[in-house]
Amino acid sequence: MAEAAPQHLALPSGLLELCVLLGAPRDSLRGPEQVAQKRGVPNPSALDPEVLSVFVPPFVSKEDGQTAGTSCGTLGRTKRRSFRKKREKPRADPGQGPSGPREADTEDVSVPDGVDLLALPQLCFPGGLCVASEPQEDRVHFLVLTDVCGNRTYAAVAQYYRPLHDEHCFYSGKPRRESLLSAGAAGCFVPFAVCVISRFPYYNALRDCLSCLLTHLKLCKDFEVDNHIKDFAAKVSLIPSPPPGPLHLIFNLKPLQIVFPSRADPESPVIDLDLHLPLLCFRPEKVLQVLASLLTEQRLVFFSASWALLTLVAECFLAYLHPLRWQHTLVPILSGQMLDFLMAPTAFLMGCHLSHLEEVSKEADGLVLINIDSGSVTCSGSDVPDIPLLAAQTFIQRVQSLQLHHDLDLAQRGASTDVNEGRARRWAWQQRLNRQIQQLTLQLLVGIFREVKNHLNYEHRVFNSDEFLKTRAPGDQRFYKQVLDTYMFHSFLKARLSRRRDAFAQMELSAQPEEDRMNGMLLSPRRPAVEKTASHKPSPGRAARRRMVVSMPNLQDIAGPELPPRNASLRKVEAEDCSCSSAAPDVSPKPTYTFKIPEVHFPRVRQCVQAYYADCVALLSKAMSCVAPDNSVLLARYLYLRGLVRLAQGQLLDALLDFQSLYKTDLSVFPADLVRSVVQALPGPERVQAERTPELRRLISQVLDKPGEAPKADDRVKHFELPSRHLPLGDFVQRVQESGIVKDAGLIGRLFEALTVGQQKLIDPETFRDFYACWKETEAQAQEVSLPAAVAEHLDKNECVYKLSGSVKTSRGVGKIAMTQKRLFLLTEGRPGYVEIATFRNIEEVRSTTAAFLLLRIPTLKIRSAARKDVFEANLKAECDLWHLMVKEMWAGKALADDHKDPQYVQQALMHALLMDAVVGALQTPGAIYAASKLSYFDKMRSEMPAAVPKTTAETLKHKINPSAGETFPQAVDVLLYTPGHLDPAERAGDARPKLWCALQAGRVMVFDASSWSLHQHCVRVGSSTLNCMAMVAQGQVWVGSEDSVIYIISVHSMSCHKQLTEHRASVTGFVVQDGPDASSQVYSCSVDGAVLAWDVSTLQVTRRLQLPGSGLSSIQLHADCLWCCTGNSIMAVNSCVRQELRIDETFQEKSTTFVAFQLLPEQEQLWAACAGYDDIYVWGLRDLARPPGRVHLPDCAQVTCMIRVKRQVWVGGTGLSPGKPRGKIYVVDAERKTVEKELVAHADTVRALCSAEDRYVLSGSGPEEGKIAIWTVE
């Protein structure tokens, strides 16, 4: 038999922390008062309940298997660990209980933290303990216990009655063969309570467990009660807590099979209650009123005649708030002696019996009184604002469409002849309804807080609360002002600024319209789009028109992305999104599984417990053998449970192996702290054995190298404030970034130059304040622009009016000149009309001149367009010079965008123009125009460097995207991977689209939808090191090799990384996915230390290992059952041994060099390679590597960094001179003729990465000076 776990190793808590038996003291039952109560004396006083017995795990001692229990006599040593009031009674002597000397055979036990046994009797009998004259129904209620640190434990309490006329009196489990009461008192029924306390809120499951216990307690003798409760507590304590995920546990506690549901994910709470209870008790409007009270952190008091409903309804409301969390006092049940708690001045949520409602409403002020029984909500002197209107209306409509009554579901089903079958049906129905309600409440929270992200600065962790409030509708202002000051919202901000991918973030992303995802790619000033401001409503079928393609698009059909709209108010956002989604969400259930825990017949006998553990391991192993290879999520849950059981058995090494396997199945459930404790507790011989096992040696190094208490990152939330001192450039950059105006440090540097022209290079507080006020004033004016439908129909739906002039006289009428990101037009006066001036693409000339009027010369702007013969003239007067600068900058930006196929130029030019406007408004000096001209960046660039993009480059280049958009600096594109789309009915539509994966610095992977080039996933974190390689593997996996020697596996479906392969010992540098009939069944990976590993994709096990001589292994390719491996000094073909080797020192003897890239061309049986310091590509024949290589010269090439084969071409990326300056260049070489067909001036920095998209396009990524991705067509 295996040894038990070491005593100093703290195993994780099971489902039971503590079991307590409570009732009336023996002496009080003998008093005449109770006899009088039996005889009908009215209004008898309640008895004083106390703890009779306490049962604490473990129930099997190492020596003889005796149970751990105690009578109430041992409670004198119990320390208070709660905020609850201490009972006013003398402290019991350690050797003597309240009722006399302590029994000699009782044991002292350690009561878990957070459980106050002195206050527990009042909570278990909140209405008092009264002897009844007639049998009473069993009753259950629930408690939430909180310690001084805010940690919560949960309890289920079952009250039941026993008659006193038995010959065996019930007290402390001891037989007493005497009658306690006189014959006149015979037939009295005395209440007792069994309280089960757990770290987890398993309300329904613990209620069912207690119901099973009561069936046994009612049939047993009084002296047998303790043993029954001990057996019950011992059984429940052996049930492990299920890990987060799809696996639920089932335990057979006769006569019921009880389900212990798991959490949906590590961030979610356990939901084991009926979430529709508040919807049965309250109208939707009242539910919203309660939620508003919680969100604004009021002092809430629930009232009900049912003690059970107090806790259940309160917990339902708190579940509605997830992922927001109530952080204040939570006491859902107060006994009559605890009512003074309601005088607390801080926010709280408490519950009282309905009989106290009138008393509380008279005595207390500033409370929100919630009557569960009548469904009413009363604000007693408190000021509770309403939930924002549109979000509230949508919530009400969706609630009304829910099916809340199980009887309606039963109407179509046959009667169940088995109690457990009927319970299983009811549980499945409840789970579906709970999912719908959780989605519904989550959509409510997203509707309320969706625009918070628009006012966050992630780099400096700043929230601009003032600007956020200005965007709220007037009727919603009071609600948001109160919410923004709460602890709950502050924690919510911390999670947003940390980019936590919780339920809110996932719902927000899934509800985001396609065009709004462009927000992550564009440098967009905040302005409402025409679609939002036009009087006509957008088509409700817009979402249905989203492109659902499964391959690369024809890029010539994709227009440059437009600026995403920013909505003027929450109401406008919701009006569109909610108009066609008022029905309850149709939540497609994720597959769930159950594992039936084996029975244990004698839970206090050591041998039986060990047999139970052995049965658990056997059943889990059997279940694992039946799991489909691609269902790693379920396999991880089985491994986790088996690891826990093996820990309880004392099999520490086997447990560590199970936990280590979680790296390959699902790392989200890896118990890092527990594993660290196990490793530290390993005895010497086992530690030596573990160090000899490769898997455990790596696991030990990982958990011990990462200290448990690592220094926490600064997670403070700062609020934006205007400066109070002079700002040098560095501080100015940070302050502008915090303001949310712009993030790009280079652009802010140009703004700094504009604001300090002719001055000391410091920005004084007044100048910054004036600039900020002008910017916000212009933004507010644009928010107020409302274009009539007749005007809006001439514009694209995503066009925004960014600048509106005063009323001026023009050659085409009187009106206001409006500037969007695409055009200039005249908004005529009188009856508003639209007159086209010019699109920026068609402008041919822009001049600032003067026109004679009487004796005056009026400044005039002249614009000549290719679309019209006549020149547009506008008498802009004082605004003329500013408009001249702005229009020329936009014209230059559009020209550069067209030349470079990069819409970012338009966005940056637009930002320059708007900053010019703010600078002129802030300075108000004669030199303001000159200062603003410092921002004419693209206009100057075009005039100073008029050279056009080379013709070949312009014809081949199709599009550019910027994965660093929204960042303070560009970031190098280290790796690119294209994954084709595929139609899978089990997938979401978005998952079926082709994707572009882009690896940036510090382990960040950006994912783009390759059908529209919109941002699909902002960032998937895979470690924090540089990423070297990526590969698409079957079963929806993307493998990423990192400098930290780990292979990270990203799930394409969940866009998360929960698997790691840790067998490499050095930086992972390359992958090869094996092609053939069993495609992707095997993957090869290599690391810089010369190790090559072959992986079975289905099991993620290493099937073969190769160790090459030397180091510097940078890439591998597969050809003719041989691996071709490139190290710095050689390229070798490897099977079981080195078959061929091309050594660099044999070919290049004139100067030292290394191989930097190579490519195999199987059709030509050739090997192409590039060497450091050479401007040639060298070509060897695979049949004879000893023959001198051929050469392909790369004109003006300074460096080669990467190489790929596309059709019959080889694309070579690196650095070249054009014209005379280092630029990122791509050479397209004809593989047959070995000639350079094209030289593409690709980027402003070195080409770092190349990848092919279905042999139709090639994508290139550049270094940190530019950080963009170019898309090229393949001929």
- Treating both helix axes as pointing N-terminal to C-terminal, what angle do 904-923 and 937-944 enclose, rounded to 10 degrees? 120
| Residue 1232 main-chain phi, psi, to 5 deg | -85, -45
Burial class (CB in 10 A: 0-12, 13-18, 19+), 545: exposed
Lowest mean pLDDT among 384-398, 469-483, 555-569, 1009-1023: 555-569
Q: Where is 380: in which H helix or E strand?
A: strand 376-380
Q: For residue 1171, list its beta bridge partners.
A: 1155
Token pair recorded at residue 745: 């440090």
Q: CA-to-CA distance for 1230 and 1164, rounded, in angstroms?
A: 12
Q: Please check whether residue 403 is in contact with residue 409, taking contact to mean a CB–CB distance below 8 angstroms.
A: yes
Residue 100 has pLDDT above 80, yes or no: no
**Half-sphere CA count of 693, side-chain side, radius 13 A:** 15
> Which comes out higher in pLDDT, residue 629 or 346?
346
Length of the chain: 1275
Q: In percent, how much of the chain has pLDDT > 70?
A: 82
Q: CA-to-CA distance for 763 and 731, rounded, in angstroms?
A: 9
Q: CA-to-CA distance for 343 and 299, rounded, in angstroms?
A: 10
Q: Residue 165: its pLDDT value, please?
A: 55
In tens, the pLDDT along 1033-1075 reads 876 889 999 999 999 999 888 888 889 999 999 999 999 998 6
Give residue 172's Cα distance to chain centre: 51
In tens, the pLDDT along 1167-1223 reads 999 988 888 899 988 888 888 888 999 998 988 999 999 989 999 999 988 776 788
Percent composition of the chain: helix, strand, coil (DSSP 3-state, to 5): 35, 25, 40
CA triple 140-144-145, angle to 5 deg: 125
Q: Please check whether residue 294 is in contact with residue 318, taking contact to mean a CB–CB distance below 8 angstroms.
A: yes
Q: CA-to-CA distance for 1036 and 1053, rounded, in angstroms?
A: 7
Q: Please check whether residue 1231 is in contact with residue 1207, taking contact to mean a CB–CB distance below 8 angstroms.
A: no
- Residue 233: pLDDT band (50, 70, 90) is very high
Q: CA-to-CA distance for 47 and 24, rounded, in angstroms?
A: 7
Alpha-carbon distances of 140 from 125, 159, 305, 317, 947, rounded to whole Å: 11, 6, 13, 20, 83
Q: Where is 236: in which H helix or E strand?
A: helix 225-237
For residue 102, which amino acid is it?
A: R
- Residue 362: pLDDT band (50, 70, 90) is confident
Segment 919-925 shows an average pLDDT of 90
Q: Residue 63: its pLDDT value, please?
A: 52
Biggest CA-to-CA distance, the chain: 125
Q: Residue 170: its pLDDT value, please?
A: 45
Q: CA-to-CA distance for 518 and 966, rounded, in angstroms?
A: 11
Highest mean pLDDT among 307-316, 729-738, 1208-1217: 307-316
Q: CA-to-CA distance for 534 and 656, rounded, in angstroms?
A: 63
Alpha-carbon distances of 223 from 193, 455, 1172, rounded to whole Å: 16, 67, 88
What is the torsional sign of CA 517, 522, 523, 528? negative
Q: Residue 580: its pLDDT value, please?
A: 44
The owner of tokens 């702007």 is: 861
Q: For residue 1126, list its beta bridge partners.
A: 1115, 1131
Q: Residue 95: its pLDDT value, please?
A: 34
Token pair recorded at residue 849: 């001149």
Residue 631 has pLDDT above 80, yes or no: yes
Q: Using DSSP, state whether 321 is helix, strand or coil.
A: coil
Residue 527 has pLDDT above 80, yes or no: no
Residue 171 has pLDDT above 50, yes or no: no
Contacts of 167 (CB under 8 A, 6+ apart): 177, 179
In tens, the pLDDT along 1126-1136 reads 988 888 888 87
For residue 864, which amino acid is it?
A: R
Ordered DSSP codes for 332-375: S---GGGGGGGG-SS-EEEEEEGGGHHHHHHH--SEEEEETTTT
The owner of tokens 């023009």 is: 810
Lowest mean pLDDT among 414-418, 542-546, 578-582, 1095-1099: 542-546
Average pLDDT, the chain: 82
Ordered DSSP codes for 11-41: PPP-S-SEEEEEE--HHHHHSHHHHHHHTT-
Q: Please check whether residue 999 is in contact with residue 1019, taking contact to mean a CB–CB distance below 8 angstroms.
A: no
**Nearest CA-CA partner of 720 in 922, 477, 457:** 457
Contacts of 1037 (CB under 8 A, 6+ apart): 1049, 1050, 1051, 1052, 1097
What is the torsional sign of CA 965, 457, 743, 453? positive
Q: For residue 936, list its beta bridge partners.
A: none
Give buried/exposed letters for 1140-1168 (b at 16+ CB in 10 A, else e).
Answer: bbbebeebbeeeebbbbbbbbbeeeebbb
Q: CA-to-CA distance for 1076 and 1119, rounded, in angstroms?
A: 12
Strand locations in 274-323 (E): 299-304
Q: Where is 1141: in which H helix or E strand?
A: strand 1138-1143
Q: Residue 988: its pLDDT value, please?
A: 55
Segment 45-60 shows an average pLDDT of 84
| Residue 1070 main-chain phi, psi, to 5 deg | -165, 160
- Residue 713: pLDDT band (50, 70, 90) is low
Residue 541 has pLDDT above 50, yes or no: no
Q: In percent, how much of the chain has pLDDT > 90?
A: 45
For residue 462, which amino acid is it?
A: V
Q: Residue 11: its pLDDT value, please?
A: 73
Token pair recorded at residue 1090: 């010369």
Q: CA-to-CA distance for 276 and 436, rounded, in angstroms?
A: 10
Residue 92 has pLDDT above 50, yes or no: no
Q: Residue 30: its pLDDT value, please?
A: 59
Q: What dihedral angle (degrees, nearest 10) is formed by the CA atoms of 120, 121, 126, 132?
A: 160
Q: CA-to-CA distance for 898 and 889, rounded, in angstroms?
A: 14
Segment 225-248 shows an average pLDDT of 92
> Which comes out higher in pLDDT, residue 544 or 188?
188
Segment 511-540 shows an average pLDDT of 54
Lowest mean pLDDT among 116-120, 931-935, 1219-1223: 1219-1223
Q: CA-to-CA distance for 48 and 29, rounded, in angstroms?
A: 10
| Residue 150 main-chain phi, psi, to 5 deg | 90, 0
In tens, the pLDDT along 674-687 reads 999 999 889 989 98
Q: Using DSSP, state whether 132 is helix, strand or coil.
A: strand
Residue 547 has pLDDT above 60, yes or no: no
**Nearest CA-CA partner of 908 in 518, 459, 525:** 525
Q: Are strands 718-719 and 462-463 parallel, antiparallel or unpaired?
A: parallel
Segment 503-518 shows an average pLDDT of 74
Contacts of 192 (CB under 8 A, 6+ apart): 21, 22, 23, 52, 159, 160, 161, 162, 170
Q: Please check whether residue 240 is in contact with residue 199, taking contact to mean a CB–CB distance below 8 angstroms.
A: no
Token pair recorded at residue 1003: 């382990």
For residue 58, is the peptide bond before it cis, meaning its omega torsion is within 30 degrees of 0? yes
Q: Residue 784: its pLDDT value, please?
A: 79
Q: Please check whether residue 331 is in contact with residue 350, taking contact to mean a CB–CB distance below 8 angstroms.
A: yes
Q: For residue 874, list its beta bridge partners.
A: 810, 861
Token pair recorded at residue 1182: 């695979």
Which DSSP symbol is given to 866? T
Segment 352-357 shows an average pLDDT of 94
